[in-house]
Structure 1
Amino acid sequence: MRRESAALAAAGLIVAFTAPVARAEPAPRTLAVNAADHLIATQPGRIHRSPHDQIRRLGVVSGARGTQYVAYDRTYAGLKVYGGDFVVVTDKTGQVTDVSGGQSAPLSVATAPNVTAAAALTTTRTRTRGLKGLAVSVQPRLVVLADHDRQGGRLAYETVLAGTRSGMPSRPHVLVDAQTGKELMRWDEVLADSTPAKGTANTFYNGPRIIDTTFSGRSYGLSDPLRPGVRCGGMDGRTYSGTDNVWGNGSGTDLETACTDAMYAAAREWNMLRDWLGRDGHDGEGRGFPMRVGLNDTNAYWDIGYAAFGHNSAGTKQATAIDVIAHELGHAVYQQTPGGALGTTETHALNESSADIFGTLTEWYGDSPPSPDTPDYLVAEQVDLVGPGPIRSMFKPSQLGDPDCFSADVPYMEPHAGGGVQNHWFYLLAEGSNPDDAAHNRPNSPTCNGKQVKGVGIRHAGQIFMETLNRKFQNWGYADVRRASLEAALIWASTDGCAGYKAVKDAWDAVNVPAQAGEAQC
């Protein structure tokens, strides 16, 4: 064995390429490989090599004016090392000019973990949100992380998952500290290739709009890059895509157009939740939910993980007006607050009403340019879902057959009807009983006890309502909402002089939901 070959073997260098045929004048790449391998064999300090390192040459890239870049990675005691890779740079004559790498000291890592692979997988699954069709592509395996925070490196478990996120494939790698069980880092093989874009939307209900879309590969998609999870497509769950980033034709029957209205409304609700109610996304943790259009029914619904939208009874419009979209996604907000969406018929009535409230808040939330849908306290008035006009009224539920006032019958009513009492309460809380502003869709509202109520404005009413839902539990009823909303109103008591508390109490009295024992006092 020649002396140089012995040195290479001692360095643990695994040469991945066949030796080049000898030439009188070696090519620059050959010179570079020889020089780089020689540096590794004779100057281990330049690459911070430990006795447990194995070095592997990956390849050579040619740069300007004969510069060559020879890339390497390493293992430590047989374990893959993240952050231990480096590049040896040579000039056209084969002289080493630089060594580029992120590792700053030799590795010294105990390779016996304190955390089991099963525990690491549990941490990985728990902290991975929004991934549909979740599968483990690569089971937890021990690796070494060579980072700047800990020069000796640290032992970690790497797990690779597979699924879809926002309509696109997703393969996240998650590294969990093998000694403490805490997540160290993560990255996704797929989503890094998707970039934000601005699409032109020819909506039916909202006029021309610019919406947030994504660009990946050679096509654009109706997936919102700023609001993870918000996307739109057909009933098969696939996100609509196209090559020109222009969406819809403005027709009431076109499904792509329906998705433009859905994307605009979902983004508007997201912004309202953030700016008015201090909530991070529909789920409260920075994520939204997909939407599907083309339901062959005079209806729209929320199905735990997505919202679906049909058409009106005349077949002339898709049911994708702002308040309808925000209503269905409002069910997601309700579901993602404490207590979830399970409970009695009375609980479901309050769920339906809560969705109406979120739809109304989204209509009234400021937008530029203003939407052609002038904000009001009616539900689905643009869609003509089952005939001309709205399907519910909040300022006077009885005008569409729902109760204005609470009674012993309300907890057993069909949920959309039974929610009329909370809708009426919210209108009184927001606008009061006598706003005298019918020209701006704020008509006077009758009270069940004949007393007047002074409102606090829709934004503050929404804030109180959101804090009320954050107190929710299973089998939530009208008595529970009354008690919780009075507690919620106390948050602002020091700044509004109990005005919000008084409005909440007066509005409940005005819809005949009786006082409860132990109610908060202001």
Structure 2
Amino acid sequence: MKRSVAFALVASASSLAVALSAPSAGAIGLTAQAPPAASPDTPAQAADRLVESEPAILRASPKDRFLRHSALATKDGLNYIAYERTYSGLPVYGGDFVVVTNSTGGVLSTSVAQTEPLSVSTTPKIDAAKAAEIARTQISDPAEVAAPKLSVMAQGRGRLAYEVLVTGADRGRESKMHVFVDAVTGEVAEKSDEVRDGSGASYYNGPVTIGTSGSGTSYSMTDPARPGIRCGGQGGTAYTGTDDSWGNGSGTNLETACVDAMYAVSQEWDMLKSWLGRNGIDGNGNGFPARVGLSDVNAYWNGSYTNFGRSQDGQRQATPIDVVAHEFGHAIFQTTPGGSSGSNEKGGLNESTGDVFGALTEFYANEPAQYDPPDLSVGEEVDLVGDGPIRYMHKPSLLGDPDCYSSSVPNMEVHAAAGVQNHWFYLLSMGSNPTNGQPVSPTCNSTTVAGVGIQKAGQIFMGALNRKTTTWTHQLVRKASLEAAIQLFPGSCTEFNATKAAWNAVSVPAASGEPTSCGSTSNDFSMTLNPASASVQAGQQATSTVGTQTTSGSAQSVTFSASGLPSGATASFSPASVTSGASSTMTISVPANTAAGTYNVIVTGDGASVDHTATFTLTVGTTGNVVFNDTFETDLGWTVNASGTDTATAGKWERGDPAATTSSGVTLQLGTTVSGSNDLVTGRLAGTAAGDYDVDGGLTSVRSPEIALPSGTLTLTFSWYLAHLNNASSSDYFRVRVVSGSSNTVVFQQLGAASNRAGAWQTATVNLSSYAGQTVRLLVETADASTASLIEAGVDDVKITKS
């Protein structure tokens, strides 16, 4: 789509996850079960295919690899697929991004903060011990320093740094400080603290009903309907009682404080579900505990639980609705893409996020005037230090915080810096001249802004958070919220115009690549290739018809391009663009010197509202009977832990030259391959002991690129081995699956046993004819699934032929 995605061929890297059913048990299976009919790409598959096509917007380098981190589907039909990046095997801090699709897999937009491809040395000049020493000085009372992790920061062309977590206390308050120490100069590149300040008798909310557990004479302040939500004292254990009546309504009673906290977070949980389509505080149906009785004029979130103190005069606990929802708002910020650690500017946006969720929860609860009625002031009920609210969202400058964005805001103290986004949210929700009793809000550009209401404003804000990246700035929030307004309210310009007007009214400049108009995203199309594969000799051409069909809304212009071609090959389209419903002919010209092999060509249809991709499998230099062939001497795009759900802590699959290992006279990992010098192997290094790099901790998987299967009789062959000692069991395994659409089938399996099994190459043959005409992937899995066992596995010479 012209608005936000430009496509170009960069490095070969991909990540595709598929929901897997429970593995089949039993003996080796050598024949595939008949699969279900091919289904359209899932939204996550569509996003993965876009990543495989390497759009220039990802700022990818040849050393980058991508891993799908999460995929969130919301009730409005949008899908947010988040990715992490590595560079030369090191995690890239700030290299993450989010792809947004509709329910049919059409790519709507991308959220990428990285500004250019990385090109940096990965050899440190200071050691990890020195980095730890530097990091521990960043808080006043360090208790523990975690092992430094070498990483690349996505700053300019890249910055090599150690990430160090320092826990303890800082100036008397709990601290979990993430410190990035430059691995060349020893300077502190960045740091951020994970700890963010910030039926019962209730103090703030009158008689309320809260979720508790138990029966008879044994009850607990643990919410059975909202997993993870419980409340207790500073020891972390939920309060218990002999009856289900809690608190006495006093501002100094801690059980009463828990009633308020439990009620507030239950309202926030329900608001997230009803208004914003989010499942629980963490987005996956879970929440976090609350503690009360903190001996401090404060409340905070520490990355694991919320903690609430008291007012300065000691008469009230800091547990009104907006304060509780604020602290749990930090948990929401942390569990959306991009996490919570980052720059000072991100810290200010995090604080504002807490305020926004506090306001949303107050409006959802909608209590009468004698309790905690809805408003957009922060902490007015607790009156923390005797001066009224902590912050005003309609006019932050009433307490000295900025109403308008300026170059000084990113470096401000984070609670003060919250003012700009708070002011924006007020204008977006209420407008500059509300008629519902809320106060007038002056704008920085003297304009009048019409609000869209608290619920729509919350949906737009949540849509922006679902696009969050590790690097997060006011301009990136502006861009993300404008995209959210378009995609959440297709066919309407009201929400987009209000969102843009509110940002202009608080002086946040336009971001590069942000949408400038409210074009509809309800228009969609589908794209097919016929045929989806071809085999040619070097010097020849392959052709395919690219068909399009309007699937919703109006027809749109679609422009075609291709990536993933062999070196020197070209793809042309006649015509180069069509109106959806029409077709184009793709011609791939293969140079005479093209190396034999199978190439996955990603064909992209760049629409005016949405983008779609499809894979064309091009086999060069065969006699026509080889559909797919990989000896692992070059990288054809196999992806380790493509689903992001592997549990193995060591011995993960990798392509490379393996080292031999033995234990107790048993050959385990084979140092020889079937052909060439490389294979797929679980932890290719030998280590000091045989168990150093074997599979540990559970499952490791590796997934092939897409393979378009022609019609006819199809046969999969591959070389394999599974080796283990007698500490293995039948819970351990080596498996091969065929993934087609959203379904998968185990087509080969070898279980472990309580006996020594030496590594030895064997050949497996599987009939894939029932998958003819479908696009599939192979998924290879190995698991140390029970008690710790010494497990090794290898794969080589994977081939699919047609006869």
Same fold (TM over 0.5): yes
Gaps of 5+ in 1: 1-108, 115-125, 127-199
Q: Which residue of 2 aligns with 1:168?
A: none
| Superposed counterparts of 1:83-98, under 5 Å | none
Q: Which residue of 1 aligns with 2:282?
A: 283
Over 3 Å counting, the alpha-carbon distance change for 1:113 and 1:217 in structure 2 is farther
**Distance in 2 of aligned mates of 1:393 and 1:226:** 34
Instruction: Report runs of 4+ in structure 1 exceeding 3 Å deviation.
Output: 109-114, 366-371
Q: Secondary structure at the match of 1:386?
A: coil
Over 3 Å counting, the alpha-carbon distance change for 1:393 and 1:255 in structure 2 is same
**Shift in Å at residue 252 of structure 1?**
0.1
Query: Deviations along 1:452-505, whole A, 9 cap, x unmatched?
Result: 11110000000000000000001201111011111111113434x211000010
| Superposed counterparts of 1:356-367, under 5 Å | 356-366=355-365
**Rg larger in structure:** 1
Answer yes or no: is the 8 Å Cα contact 1:323–1:379 preserved in 2: yes
**Shift in Å at residue 434 of structure 1?**
1.1
Q: Is 2:505 aligned against 1:506?
A: no
Q: Is 2:471 aligned against 1:472?
A: no
Query: Deviations along 1:205-243, whole A, 9 cap, x unmatched?
Result: 001112111006841000000000000000110100001
Over 3 Å counting, the alpha-carbon distance change for 1:449 and 1:220 in structure 2 is same
Q: Which amino acid aligns with 1:453?
A: V
Q: Which residue of 2 aligns with 1:488?
A: 484
Answer yes or no: is the 8 Å Cα contact 2:202–2:260 preserved in 1: yes
Q: Which residue of 2 aligns with 1:154?
A: none
Q: Which amino acid aligns with 1:454?
A: A
Equivalent in 449, 452, 457 of residue 453 of structure 2: 457
| Superposed counterparts of 1:119-518, under 5 Å | 200-215=199-214, 218-366=217-365, 372-437=371-436, 440=437, 442-495=438-491, 497-518=492-513
**Distance in 1 of aligned mates of 2:388 and 2:224:** 35
Over 3 Å counting, the alpha-carbon distance change for 1:279 and 1:319 in structure 2 is same
Q: Secondary structure at the match of 2:258?
A: helix
Q: Secondary structure at the match of 1:292?
A: strand
Answer yes or no: is the 8 Å Cα contact 1:221–1:242 preserved in 2: yes
**Distance in 2 of aligned mates of 1:358 and 1:519:** 25
**Distance in 2 of aligned mates of 1:202 and 1:113:** 62
**Shift in Å at residue 371 of structure 1?**
7.4
More strand by share: 2
Q: Secondary structure at the match of 2:208?
A: strand
**Distance in 2 of aligned mates of 1:111 and 1:298:** 64
**Distance in 1 of aligned mates of 2:264 and 2:512:** 41
**Distance in 1 of aligned mates of 2:337 and 2:370:** 33
**Shift in Å at residue 374 of structure 1?**
1.1
Answer yes or no: is the 8 Å Cα contact 1:227–1:286 preserved in 2: yes
**Shift in Å at residue 516 of structure 1?**
1.9
**Shift in Å at residue 113 of structure 1?**
11
Q: Secondary structure at the match of 2:210?
A: strand
Answer yes or no: is the 8 Å Cα contact 2:312–2:385 preserved in 1: yes
Which one has more relative contact order, counting CA pairs under 8 Å at least 6 apart?
A: 2
Q: Which amino acid aligns with 2:332?
A: V
**Distance in 2 of aligned mates of 1:292 and 1:312:** 16
Query: Deviations along 1:32-60, whole A, 9 cap, x unmatched?
Result: xxxxxxxxxxxxxxxxxxxxxxxxxxxxx
**Shift in Å at residue 432 of structure 1?**
0.7
**Distance in 2 of aligned mates of 1:402 and 1:478:** 16
Q: Which residue of 2 aligns with 1:174?
A: none
Q: Secondary structure at the match of 2:307?
A: strand
Q: Secondary structure at the match of 2:211?
A: strand
Answer yes or no: is the 8 Å Cα contact 2:239–2:255 preserved in 1: yes
**Distance in 1 of aligned mates of 2:365 and 2:225:** 19
**Distance in 1 of aligned mates of 2:396 and 2:316:** 25
Answer yes or no: is the 8 Å Cα contact 2:204–2:372 preserved in 1: yes
| Superposed counterparts of 1:8-19, under 5 Å | none
Answer yes or no: is the 8 Å Cα contact 1:492–1:498 preserved in 2: no
Answer yes or no: is the 8 Å Cα contact 2:213–2:222 preserved in 1: yes
**Shift in Å at residue 519 of structure 1?**
1.3
Q: Secondary structure at the match of 1:256?
A: helix
Q: Which amino acid aligns with 1:269?
A: E
Q: Which amino acid aligns with 1:236?
A: G
Gaps of 5+ in 2: 1-24, 31-69, 71-198, 519-803
**Shift in Å at residue 361 of structure 1?**
0.2
Answer yes or no: is the 8 Å Cα contact 2:213–2:219 preserved in 1: yes
Q: Which amino acid aligns with 1:340?
A: G
Q: Secondary structure at the match of 1:419?
A: helix
**Distance in 2 of aligned mates of 1:267 and 1:518:** 38
**Distance in 2 of aligned mates of 1:419 and 1:388:** 19
Q: Which residue of 2 aligns with 1:5?
A: none
**Distance in 1 of aligned mates of 2:474 and 2:26:** 59
Q: CA RMSD in A?
A: 2.0
**Distance in 1 of aligned mates of 2:429 and 2:387:** 27
Query: Deviations along 1:85-132, whole A, 9 cap, x unmatched?
Result: xxxxxxxxxxxxxxxxxxxxxxxx747899xxxxxxxxxxx9xxxxxx
Q: Which amino acid aligns with 1:466?
A: M
Over 3 Å counting, the alpha-carbon distance change for 1:113 and 1:284 in structure 2 is farther
Please say which of residues 391-400 and 360-369 is displaced more in the overlay. 360-369
Q: Which residue of 2 aligns with 1:17?
A: none
Q: Secondary structure at the match of 2:490?
A: helix
Over 3 Å counting, the alpha-carbon distance change for 1:493 and 1:219 in structure 2 is closer
Answer yes or no: is the 8 Å Cα contact 1:202–1:257 preserved in 2: yes
**Distance in 2 of aligned mates of 1:444 and 1:242:** 47
Q: What is the percentage of aligned positions where both structures have the same residue?
A: 58
More helix by share: 1
